[in-house]
Amino acid sequence: MIPLLAALPLSFAFATALLLPLHRKNLAKYLFLTGAFVPWGVFLLGGEGSEIVGGWTRMGGIEVAVGVYSRWFILAELLLFSIAALYSVVYFRGKVKPFVLLLLIHTGLLGAFISRDLFNYYIYMEVVSVSTFSLVAFPGSSEAKKAAYKYLMLSMISSYFFVFAVGLLYLKTGYLNLYLMSQVVTQSKEVAAAIAIAFTSLLLKAGIFPLHSWLPDANSAAPTPVVILSGITVNVPLYGMLLLSTYLPLSVQFKAALTSIAFISMFAGVGMALLQRDAKRLLAYSTVSQMGYALIGIGTGNPLGAVYYSFAHSIIKGGLFLSVGSLSDARGSRRLDALSYRGDVLIAVSVIALSLAIGGVSPFVSALGKAEILQGLTWGRWLVYLAGVGTLAAFAKLNYWLSRGVGVRVGGVYRLLSIIPTLLVMGFGLYLYRAFQPFDAVTVGAGILTFALLRLSGLTDRGIGFELPVGRDVSINAALYALFLLLLLHVL
């Protein structure tokens, strides 16, 4: 049953693609919605377990599984994709190609989250990436094309290095299946190098700090339904890191290096978010910072923390992009001072609630993630609290600007959908966490105070803007990737 999670959306993707030459465009949305929702049935009926595709043995076949960790990723994916699917039916009305590409993203995400085999994982990660490139470029503006090109080049460079690392591991162990690999793997220089290369590639795809530069561009230029999914697409590389770290031996200093990178990413992301004047870029830089939190879970050998945190983050970020994206689509501008949620209670409530949630405030599910992350951390707990204050300051900035000015009319479906992530984040928080921490009020207060001080000093309004030609931009980032790779190879 488990492979059907990926197979059914794929067959619906092909069926939807057929409608274009058959001149049956009007059926596209029904096929698309069926393909989007049908994996729910497989997920709910199938339960947990592991399976080898085609009834082969583990040594000869491809293993897929729904496990303790992956079920959270799959649940987040299904929830977020359902919202994005309903949104895109209205957004891409009368088109066919975006529906096909979105179903391919659906396939890729589910296929990556069920895979227990490195090469299979790589293939599905590529399915997600390639469909995302074309959807980022879909608006056709020069900004979108540039962002898609940059994302394509950087993502492809890291993909090739990743598949090289998979090849190295295959050479040393003779398997691609992670369980079998973990049975025979021994500590050696080649394995350590392969792990370092694979991690560097996945860090780029997850948007961790020095390698993040494609993420704000892609997230600000892509159409709104695609950006809603950005919260979950960055979880695919995270799941890969989780697989690598649970099945393969990571050295102590490598884990320490990952934790340090995570902290740097947390603060760099928050710092950049505070400086932005573009609402979507602010959210994108917040993703850079939030992925740092999840990476702490990997670095400290605490997968459950990483899983809970990224589960919470994907839904929260999806909801924020939905609300802010709808506002900016309606206004036709992404500048913070042009946007406002005045006169729109649903969007205002969801933006405020999700802003609190992203800071890890306690009735929401992200508080659980944060608590789990903190549990595994032996040093630098105060840094996590500090980054939380920074995140809340950045979102105080978002809310400050959105609560001023004149509101715009947002379509009814978009408004109704914007409240769903808020309810989900609240509901899962109450169901899973059930604790209320009064200390969070202090964090929120500190966040607002920080923003007020920064605003008084005039730092947050200046903005930073310099634009390189896209070719040079890609070259610089590729060089940065190479340097980072050397650094991680040095640490091992």
Partner 1 sequence: MGMTLVVKKTTTLVAPFLVTYGAYLALYGYASPGGGFQAGVILAVSAILLMTAYGPKQVKKHFPLGEVSLLEGFSGLFLTVLALAGLMFGAFFLNFLRPYLPGGTVVPFNVGVALKVAAAFILTFYLLSRWVDRD
**DSSP letter string, 139-155:** T--HHHHHHHHHHHHHH
With respect to partner 1, which residue has the nearer C-beta, 100 or 351?
Answer: 100
34 forms part of the interface with partner 1 (CB under 8 A):
no
Which residues, 195 to 254, sit near partner 1 by CB under 8 A? none
Residue 60 touches partner 1, criterion: CB under 8 A: no
Q: How far is the CB of 6 from partner 1 (least distance, A)?
A: 10
CB of 17 to partner 1, least distance (A): 5
Q: Which helix (H) or strand (E) holds 329?
A: helix 303-331
- B/e letters for 419-438, b = 16+ CB within 10 Å, e = fewer, are bbbbebbbebbeeebeeebe
Whole-angstrom distance, CA of residue 473 vs CA of residue 213: 9
Can you say whether residue 454 is alpha, beta or left, with left for phi > 0 and alpha for psi between -120 and 50 degrees?
A: alpha
Of 48-56, 308-316, 336-344, 401-409, the segment contacting partner 1 by CB under 8 A is 48-56
Contact 33/85 with Cβ under 8 angstroms? Answer: yes
- Closest approach of Cβ 5 to partner 1, in Å? 10
Judged by CB under 8 A, which stretch of 51-59, 128-136, 152-160, 349-357 contacts partner 1? 51-59
Query: Which residue, 21 or 438, is less far from partner 1 as judged by CB?
Result: 21
- Pull the structure tokens for residue 390: 């920074």
Contacting residue, 20, 123, 168, 193, with partner 1 by CB under 8 A: 20
Q: How far is CA 305 from CA 247, 308, 365, 424, in A?
A: 17, 5, 12, 19
Residue of the chain from 44, 45, 55, 462 that contacts partner 1 (CB under 8 A): 55
Dihedral sign of CA atoms 283, 212, 252, 236 in order: positive
What secondary structure letter does DSSP report for 251? P
Among 17, 153, 232, 398, binds partner 1 (CB under 8 A): 17
**Under rule CB under 8 A, residue 10 binds partner 1:** yes
- For partner 1, the binding residue among 44, 54, 466, 469 (CB under 8 A) is 54
Alpha-helical segments (H) within 115-141: 118-136
By the rule CB under 8 A, 96 interacts with partner 1: no
The angle formed by the CA atoms of residues 467, 326 and 291, to the nearest 5 degrees, is 60
Q: Please, which residue, 35 or 318, has the CB nearer to partner 1? A: 35
- In whole angstroms, the minimum distance from the beta carbon of 251 to partner 1 comes to 38
Stretch that binds partner 1, among 15-23, 129-137, 149-157, 166-174 (CB under 8 A): 15-23
Please give the span between the terminal C-alpha atoms of the chain, in angstroms, as a whole number: 39
The region of 16-24, 109-117, 342-350, 417-425 touching partner 1 under the rule CB under 8 A is 16-24
In whole angstroms, give the CA distance from residue 240 to residue 79.
21
Residue among 33, 36, 47, 53 that touches partner 1 (CB under 8 A)? 53
* Identity of the residue, 16 or 362, whose beta carbon is nearer to partner 1 in the bound complex: 16
Q: Which of 7, 27, 374, 491 binds partner 1 (CB under 8 A)?
A: 7
Contact between 431 and partner 1 per CB under 8 A = no
Tell me the CA distances in angstroms from 4 to 31, 77, 240, one per residue in order.
17, 15, 21
The answer to the question of residue 18 lying near partner 1 (CB under 8 A) is yes
Span 452-491, contacts to partner 1 by CB under 8 A:
none
4 near partner 1 (CB under 8 A):
yes
How many CA atoms lie within 13 Å of 298's alpha carbon, on the beta-carbon side?
32
Taking CB under 8 A as the binding criterion, the range among 2-10, 187-195, 235-243, 412-420 that sits at the site for partner 1 is: 2-10
Whether the Cβ atoms of residue 287 and residue 269 lie closer than 8 Å to each other: yes
Give the separation between CA 329 and CA 254, rounded to whole angstroms: 43
Residue pair 471/400 in contact by the 8 Å Cβ criterion: no
* Tokens matching residue 468: 């390189």
- Candidates 10-18, 86-94, 176-184, 278-286: pick the segment binding partner 1 (CB under 8 A): 10-18
Instruction: Output the smallest distance, CB 264 to partner 1, in A.
Output: 41
Q: Which is nearer to partner 1, 7 or 349 (CB)?
A: 7
CB of 64 to partner 1, least distance (A): 9
Q: How many C-beta atoms lie closer than 10 Å to residue 51's C-beta?
A: 18
Least distance from partner 1 to the Cβ atom of residue 473, Å? 24
Is 39 an interacting residue with respect to partner 1 (CB under 8 A)? no
Q: Does 148 bind partner 1 (CB under 8 A)?
A: no
Picking from 301, 318, 317, the residue whose alpha carbon sits closest to that of residue 372 is: 301
Residues at the interface with partner 1 (CB under 8 A): 3-4, 7, 10-11, 14-15, 17-18, 20-22, 51, 53-55
